[in-house]
Amino acid sequence: MAIFSSLSRQQKEAVGLLQIGTFLEYFDLMLYVHMAVLLNELFFPKTDPHTASLIAAFAFCSTYVLRPVGALLFGWVGDNIGRKPTVVITTIMMAVSCIVMANLPTYAQIGISSAWIITICRIMQGLSAMGEVIGAEIYLTEAIPLPHRYPVVSAIRIVDDLGSVFAIAVASFVTLAGMNWRIAFWIGACIAVVGSIARVRLRETPEFIAAKQKKIRRSGPAEKVEPRTAVAYFLMHCGYPIFFFFSFIFCASILKNKFGYSAEQIIHQNLIIALVALASDVVYTMLSKYIFPLKILTVKVYCAFVLSLLLPFLLNSIEDPVYLLIVQCFVIFFALGGMPGSAVFLVNFPVLKRFKSATFLYAAAYAVMSTINSFGLIYLVEFFGNYGLYVITIPTCIGFYWSINHFKKLHNQNQPQFQTPLSTHPNEIKLNETKLA
């Protein structure tokens, strides 16, 4: 992209190292998610379909429920010690968990201990990922100037989806080729070790260093996070878990129970969905180069709301897995989430409370929504059919819309002259910023 050519050598190195690390982290994190239909049968006891769904939900949910704890831990490290140590530590944690999972005996070999150990590893991966993507976004938000900041920060989401795609591709290749599934996790462990080594080269962000020096020179009350902003950031991240869960987990159950798909076939279909998710991130990142990110998110929430209203009717009428695939593609393409507006949201948090605030709220949103999706959706659909989806999707869309409007107001208050209409060229934006400075 032309944007990266305008960055300094140090900025390019930071972007490269963070993108490599994020790719490696999400390859490891998503490897289990997309092999769950196979691995849950190896590490958990065999049960009836309903109980199996609860076990799968538990394995999925365990990645997210303790993320707020990781957010507080890594948030403290990020705001008091630095952004760099945080992203290095998280990559090492991911490597360790992958090594354990690659060597873990199955349920048939050691019984229920395998289920507990695999769950602990998933929790470690969840904690690790917590400091990863938000840490990378914060680092680049502080290191990259406007107007290049929006697409550069958004590119982090491209890279984590790319890691997910490679995870599914490896899972698909290993299962279809009849190879030992442990090979995939050994690949993940090696990749995480490489990421840990690479990130040692990172330098601390100038904005964090300046804020720490300012804090040392001054005494007085610390800056506070505005409550409405915290709520808006929380609601902003409640959307993606439901759309992700629907596309990859909920629909996997339909494919297995209604259409008789094997684990290998489900993994292959998930690969297609992951490619669509990757393509959507590329599109939104490119658009953020020309269109203000909150305008893009406004269009997304309109599309997501309409799609949410149609979902139960579409699912009730689907008799062919190909049509379900089409629905999955639309859902993941318009999935609600912070991307490409992350850089807009993060600057509204005080620098020395930014890491803890952003990571904790992000983690809390994923923990709450993943729990609701994993367990609540099972019973909602059981009692209300596919119309039970409304109980989660509609309030999520409404909360997302309110959040966008809140951040629009903050943006207009803080930078009243810095507007980015559809016709504004990036060079004009840069000129406006120079006048503001």
Q: How far apart are CA 377 and CA 391, in angstroms?
A: 9
User: What proportion of the chain, given as a percentage, has pLDDT over 70?
Assistant: 79
Q: Is residue 406 predicted with pLDDT exceeding 70?
A: yes
2: confidence class by pLDDT, cuts 50, 70, 90: low
User: What is the model's pLDDT at position 314?
Assistant: 92
Domain ranges of the chain: 11-204+235-428
User: What is the model's pLDDT at position 329?
Assistant: 93
57: confidence class by pLDDT, cuts 50, 70, 90: low
Are 56 and 40 a contacting pair, CB within 8 Å? yes
* Amino acid (one-letter) located at 372: I
End-to-end distance of the chain based on CA atoms, in angstroms?
26
For 19, 36, 118, the CA distances from 42, given in Å and listed in that order, are: 33, 10, 11
What is the SS3 assignment for 261? coil
Are 42 and 107 a contacting pair, CB within 8 Å? yes
Q: How far apart are CA 292 and CA 44, in angstroms?
A: 47
What is the arithmetic mean of pLDDT over 335-348?
A: 89
Q: How far apart are CA 409 and CA 417, in angstroms?
A: 13
What is the arithmetic mean of pLDDT over 239-258?
A: 87
The domain 11-204+235-428 is classified under which CATH number: 1.20.1250.20, 3.40.50.300, 3.40.50.1370, 3.90.45.10? 1.20.1250.20
Q: Is residue 119 predicted with pLDDT exceeding 90?
A: no
Q: How far apart are CA 407 and CA 281, in angstroms?
A: 21
Are 151 and 286 a contacting pair, CB within 8 Å? yes
Q: How far apart are CA 83 and CA 81, in angstroms?
A: 7
What is the SS3 assignment for 230? helix
* Amino acid (one-letter) located at 385: G
Tell me: the pLDDT tens digits for 99-112?
Answer: 888 888 888 888 87
> What are the start-end ranges of the H helices in 237-350?
239-245, 251-257, 263-287, 293-317, 321-333, 342-346
The candidate with the shortest Cα–Cα distance to 366, out of 336, 330, 391, 387, is: 336
Are 222 and 354 a contacting pair, CB within 8 Å? no
408: confidence class by pLDDT, cuts 50, 70, 90: very high
**CB burial class (10 A; 0-12, 13-18, 19+) of residue 227?**
exposed
pTM value surpassing 0.75: yes
Q: How far apart are CA 293 and CA 157, in angstroms?
A: 14
Concatenated DSSP letters for 84-121? HHHHHHHHHHHHHHHHHHHH---HHHHTTHHHHHHHHH
Concatenated DSSP letters for 34-86? HHHHHHHHHHS----HHHHHHHHHHHHHHHHHTHHHHHHHHHHHHHHT-HHHH
For 390-426, b where at least 16 C-beta lie within 10 A, e where not — what string? eebbeebbebbbebbebbbebbeeeeeebebeeebeb
422: confidence class by pLDDT, cuts 50, 70, 90: very low
Are 104 and 114 a contacting pair, CB within 8 Å? yes
Lowest mean pLDDT among 82-96, 267-281, 420-434: 420-434
227 vs 437, residue with greater confidence: 227
Lowest mean pLDDT among 96-110, 182-196, 353-367: 182-196
Block residue for tokens 């429920």: 65
